[in-house]
Structure 1
Amino acid sequence: MSQLRGYEMFSKHLFAAALSIAAFVAGGAQAETAVLTVSHNGEQTAMTMDELKAMPATSFTTSTQWTEGGPVEFTGVSLADFAAAFGVTEGTISATAINDYTVKIPVSDAVEGGPIIAYAMNGNEMSRRDKGPLWVIYPFDDKPDYKAETYYSRAIWQLDRVTFE
């Protein structure tokens, strides 16, 4: 059991180091501001936009009740890949916005073809005015089950903190 815990910690630190190196290479030596704080097992990780973009990208097009002009293309990190990067396979994700609004998302929502932590809308980074810089969004048009208040309530924008519980 302790070997598994040690492996999880090693994997987490190795992943964080790889993200830091990728961000340094992509952005030069310039320091970038953290856009997302992740808490897991009593530790906090501050992630920059470059670190999020270094993770595998997922895109889908969907309509939302919060956007106008028809379907919108969202690009970001799938919640499944994000949770896996931290070794999380069960429990709850507590997602908090800049204004301290918090929603609980079951890790069981973190599936292939499911929600993403979007950092781009129609190919452009999202400003705070556009519900950015990060927005947990579900592919509402792809799965009829997602067109329900349960999932609409989990689509939190201006995300800046995630806690794996």
Structure 2
Amino acid sequence: MISNVSTRMAALALGLFITASVSAAGLERPQGRVILTIEGDIAHTNEEGKAVFDREMLERLTQHTTQTSTPWTEGVREFTGPLGSALLEAVGASGTILKVIAINDYVVEVPVEDFYSHPVILAMKADGDYLRVRDKGPLFIIYPFDDDSDLNSEVYYNRSSWQIARIEVK
């Protein structure tokens, strides 16, 4: 009887150790619908060679709210979502360029440095409501345009892609 209990305890401890090791080495698996896939020069994955995120996983990253006007929306809006830098850290990104791909295959390149120089977010919400595809969702790159006049240029406007589905780190 004692050896049976000891064997079960050892098996439980081993299982917990393996689970903790997998979680430390990679990302958790999404439980909901995947809305973002990241691949390329990343160290942390949860699928073969890529990191996939559902909404809840993105909401567990460091969030930031930016109040700003944009060329595509009316007036000042409040955008909320994970900081781009938190997302890159979560996947262990080591590249210098992000190839951002929208649902309709529109592609824009964004320097990784932008995500560390400015509090750029992948907005999931506008004025407290989740962004839908018809509202430029599910993810919309938002720079703090009203906080830094240097960001009010075609260069940064062109990097503010919406309906983001994938990011390739190069």
TM-score of the superposed pair, with normalisation by structure 2: 0.78
State the partner residue of 2:63: 57
The answer to whether the Cα contact below 8 Å between 2:51 and 2:91 also exists between their aligned partners in 1 is no
2:84–2:119 Cα contact (<8 Å) kept = yes
| Among candidates 152, 162, 165, match of residue 167 of structure 2 | 162
Give the SS at the match of 1:111.
helix
2:72 to 55, 66, 70: 66
Larger radius of gyration: 2
Moved more, 106-115 or 122-131: 106-115
What is the letter of the counterpart of residue 32 of structure 1?
G
* 1:39 to 1:71, Cα distance in 2 relative to 1, 3 A: same
Q: In the alignment, is residue 148 of structure 1 matched against residue 156 of structure 2? A: no
**Matched residue, 2:96:** 91
Instruction: Give the superposition deviation at 1:12.
Output: 8.4
Paired with 1:93 and 1:54, the residues of 2 have a C-alpha distance of: 22
Which stretch has the larger CA shift, 155-164 or 77-86? 77-86
Q: Are 2:68 and 2:77, in contact at CA under 8 Å, matched by a contact in 1?
A: yes
* CA distance in structure 1 between the partners assigned to 2:112 and 2:163 by the alignment: 20
**Residue identity opposite 1:41 in structure 2:** D
Structure 1 partner of 2:105: 100
Partner of 2:4: none
Unaligned segments of structure 2, at least 5 residues: 1-20, 43-48
Deviations 1:111-160 (A, max 9, x none): 26421111000011011110001001111001111000000000000000
Using the alignment, how far apart are the partners of 1:106 and 1:11 within structure 2? 30
1:82 aligns with 2:87: yes
1:48 aligns with 2:54: yes
Q: Deviations over 1:20-59 (max 9, x none)?
A: 4xx6xxxxxxx41100011033811221011101111111
Match of residue 35 from structure 2: 35
Give 1:27's aligned residue: none
- Residue 46 of structure 2 corresponds to which residue in structure 1? none
Structure 1 unpaired stretches of 5+: 1-9, 24-30
Q: Given residue 159 of structure 1, which amino acid in structure 2 is its aligned partner?
A: I
Amino acid corresponding to residue 51 of structure 2 in structure 1: T
Percent identical: 33
The amino acid across from 1:87 in the alignment is G
Could you say which residue in structure 1 is the equivalent of 2:129? 124
In the TM superposition, residue 79 of structure 1 has moved relative to its aligned partner by 1.0
Q: TM-score, normalization: structure 1?
A: 0.80
1:136 is matched with which residue?
Answer: 141
Q: Give me the CA root mean square deviation.
A: 2.1
